[in-house]
Structure 1
Amino acid sequence: MPQPPRPRVTLAAVAAATGLSVATVSRALAGRGDLASDTRARVLAAARRLGYTRSGEARGRPRAGTARLFDLVLGHFHDPYSDEVTAGARGAAAAAGFDLVLTAERDRPDDDWPARIRARGSAGVVLGLVVPTAGQLAQLEAAAIPVVLLDPRSVHTPPLPVVHTTDRDGGVSAAAHLIDAGADRFLVVTGTPAYRFGRARIEGFVAEVRRRLPDADVRRVDVDWTGRTARRRSAPFMASVRPGERLGVFACADTLAEGVYAAAADAGLGIPHDVLVVGFDDVRTARVLTPALTSVHQPIREMAAAAIGLLTRAAAGETLEPTATVLPTRLVVRASTVRGFGPAAPSA
């Protein structure tokens, strides 16, 4: 005997389950209005649990179908790193027949970027340097929008596909090169907060120095990821360089290397005569510094393109596994570590 159809769940039922008004529930489900992210997540979870439908079918994205677009979410744009990410993602999306929307993550509780993405029916999201909250993920999951994490700041990530590079190996290659170039002692300039990738770079660098030069003097300074602070905090080490010494500096980002260059100039030291400098990222900063900066090349464009590639597969119906795609670093040698390679800063 056929079973009678289940009664349709109403907005009022969802409102009662959440303790919110019908109007608030309606805005949350439609992806509209200035609502807190946890409120939206609570509504979406209740609607999913109760089986709420608008027209007899399970709710998904608020608009019919899926748009031919992907969202790239970053905390900031228009710096060398984000420019590389955007270029790589845009090229890969265009090649796959998708548009790319740039979405700013404002890192505050009332930021509704998941609701905006859900409302426009995005086919997928790349989160760059961002680890989403449980509430944000709930909104995207309720709309069946796949998410890929690009170079997340934390090792503790949700079970999602991740794309990153070999940060630790990059630190190893930086140390090996400075040792081979004749550095006598070492300074590591890293950023704080101590993100996953920064810690891995330092671990690789220090491990390689200890392996090859167990008694070497290795110092570390923590700065706020800006060249200005790197200049100020590395100044005492520049002042301590004695005639005939060669200080090997590993800056965990090319922007920090800029500050190291300035501190060396302040102390009247030459690069690479007195101070050898290796950066990390190999963005345009590395090429415009004088002398040109030796840097660990992070394949940023390729990483972004790989993340878009995963979303393209998901859009074609493939289920993405929560695994890591790891692209290799490589050391690009320039004049900041090799005498005679190119124009060098004048020595004191």
Structure 2
Amino acid sequence: MPERVTLAAVAADAGVSVGTASRALSGRGDLAAGTRRRVLASALALGYARDPAVGGRPPGSARLVDLVLGRYHTAYSDEVTAGARSAAAAAGYDLVLAEERDSPDDDWPLRVRRRGSAGVVLGLISPTAAQLAALTDAGIPVVLMDPRAETSRGLTSVRTTDREGGAAAAQHLVERGATRFAIVLGSPPYRYGRARNTGFRETLRLATPGADLVALQADWGAAGAREAAVPLLRGLRPGERLGVFACSDEMAAGVYAAAAATGRRIPDEVLVVGFDDLRGARWLTPPMTTVHQPIREMAAAAVTALAGAAAGAPLPPTPIVLPTRLIARGST
């Protein structure tokens, strides 16, 4: 039977004292980021298995659930937070907001461990192997909300019917009399963007074989979508009706800006469908037709799954999928 790796062995490998190694692994103390990283790397390399209750609360003892997002104070994050907070309160938990920073010094998994959270919801984030190991070692379950990539790590995820949403957008634009079509794709091509693209293309091909379809690339933002759409809108011929499906509401707003810049009228010359149904969609002129994804409900489902896991229920082995629906407004 292999000999258990000790804390002293980790400390020696990292070149620190046993006390420093203990503080680094438990997330306690004011340590230099480089020191903490070095200790974590040594622990991972040596296969050190730490008792999650040592130096912190046992998982779930604080009745907390952590929500980790890349940024807050956006329309999307506000919806996620509202849904997660309501579900946490209903289950008797408090919600803690953590922001992932694009930095090697970011130690949010250690802070989660120190709090003794019952679980973690990661929104639009795929954890690194080291981050996941820090949580798994402490027995803290993770649920991914709308992951950007398919995961092979066996994590439970919550998502929506992206492919079906793209299909509904294509069918709607055909029914509204579009004669040419364009799709605005987000770059990088995340999992959900690829699914929306596939659903749109497949349905358009079946509904109008040989349809003129142009693919535009943008960086998931309004400015990039505007820049990509302006040349296409300038080239519209008299009598054409261009049906545009943007894979996010923000990019669809960029198409609105391109229409204004080129003097094209929505929906007379350009029909626009977005995806998300964030609060700003209905405030545009005209209000935007969009594919509604149930963001609040998705966040609530993730928190509810974690609360169930804390009570002893297994996390679902397959993705939790909630349906989209098309909301028709003035832009079509």
**Common topology (TM > 0.5):** yes
Shift in Å at residue 267 of structure 1?
1.4
Q: Is the 8 A contact 1:187 1:249 kept in 2?
A: yes
Partner of 1:211: 206
Matches of 1:176 and 1:92, distance apart in 2: 34
Three-state SS of the structure 2 residue aligned to 1:248 is strand
Shift in Å at residue 156 of structure 1?
3.2
Three-state SS of the structure 1 residue aligned to 2:33 is coil
Matches of 2:276 and 2:57, distance apart in 1: 41
Partner of 2:18: 22
Over 3 Å counting, the alpha-carbon distance change for 1:51 and 1:70 in structure 2 is closer
Q: Is the 8 A contact 1:247 1:275 kept in 2?
A: yes
Matches of 1:105 and 1:256, distance apart in 2: 24
Match of 1:265 among 257, 260, 264: 260
Partner of 1:163: 158
Q: Is the 8 A contact 1:93 1:99 kept in 2?
A: yes
Q: Is the 8 A contact 1:61 1:143 kept in 2?
A: no
Matches of 1:157 and 1:75, distance apart in 2: 21
Partner of 2:104: 109
Partner of 1:345: none
Partner of 1:293: 288
Matches of 1:123 and 1:298, distance apart in 2: 27
Q: Is the 8 A contact 2:6 2:48 kept in 1?
A: no
Q: Is the 8 A contact 1:286 1:295 kept in 2?
A: yes
Matched letter for residue 245 of structure 2: F
Three-state SS of the structure 2 residue aligned to 1:296 is strand
Three-state SS of the structure 2 residue aligned to 1:126 is strand
Shift in Å at residue 317 of structure 1?
1.7
Matches of 2:161 and 2:64, distance apart in 1: 29
Which residues in structure 2 correspond to 1:169-188 (within 5 Å)? 169-188=164-183
Q: Which runs of 5+ in 1 are unaligned?
A: 1-6, 53-57, 338-348
Shift in Å at residue 15 of structure 1?
2.0
Shift in Å at residue 248 of structure 1?
0.2
Task: Normalising by structure 1, report the TM-score.
Answer: 0.88
Q: Does 1:230 align with 2:225?
A: yes
Three-state SS of the structure 2 residue aligned to 1:249 is strand
Shift in Å at residue 45 of structure 1?
4.2
Matched letter for residue 9 of structure 2: A
Q: Is the 8 A contact 2:221 2:251 kept in 1?
A: yes
Over 3 Å counting, the alpha-carbon distance change for 1:60 and 1:40 in structure 2 is farther
Over 3 Å counting, the alpha-carbon distance change for 1:34 and 1:164 in structure 2 is farther
Q: Is the 8 A contact 2:25 2:40 kept in 1?
A: no
Task: Normalising by structure 2, report the TM-score.
Answer: 0.92
Three-state SS of the structure 1 residue aligned to 2:188 is coil
Three-state SS of the structure 1 residue aligned to 2:105 is coil
Over 3 Å counting, the alpha-carbon distance change for 1:39 and 1:150 in structure 2 is farther
Q: Is the 8 A contact 1:41 1:138 kept in 2?
A: no
Matched letter for residue 33 of structure 2: L
Three-state SS of the structure 2 residue aligned to 1:132 is coil
Over 3 Å counting, the alpha-carbon distance change for 1:40 and 1:69 in structure 2 is farther
Which residues in structure 2 correspond to 1:53-92 (within 5 Å)? 58-60=51-53, 62-65=55-58, 66-92=61-87
Matches of 2:200 and 2:114, distance apart in 1: 45
Matched letter for residue 238 of structure 2: P
Matches of 1:88 and 1:148, distance apart in 2: 15
Deviates further, 154-163 or 193-202? 154-163
Question: How many residues matched?
Answer: 325
Over 3 Å counting, the alpha-carbon distance change for 1:292 and 1:25 in structure 2 is same
Shift in Å at residue 253 of structure 1?
0.5
Q: Which runs of 5+ in 2 are unaligned?
A: none
Match of 2:191 among 188, 193, 196: 196
Matches of 2:229 and 2:48, distance apart in 1: 59
Partner of 2:90: 95
Over 3 Å counting, the alpha-carbon distance change for 1:99 and 1:44 in structure 2 is farther
Q: Does 1:252 align with 2:247?
A: yes
Q: Which has the larger radius of gyration?
A: 1
Matches of 2:43 and 2:67, distance apart in 1: 23
Three-state SS of the structure 1 residue aligned to 2:68 is strand
Deviates further, 296-305 or 256-265? 256-265
Over 3 Å counting, the alpha-carbon distance change for 1:9 and 1:44 in structure 2 is closer
Q: Is the 8 A contact 2:57 2:114 kept in 1?
A: no
Shift in Å at residue 214 of structure 1?
1.5
Q: Does 1:314 align with 2:295?
A: no
Match of 1:242 among 228, 237, 253: 237
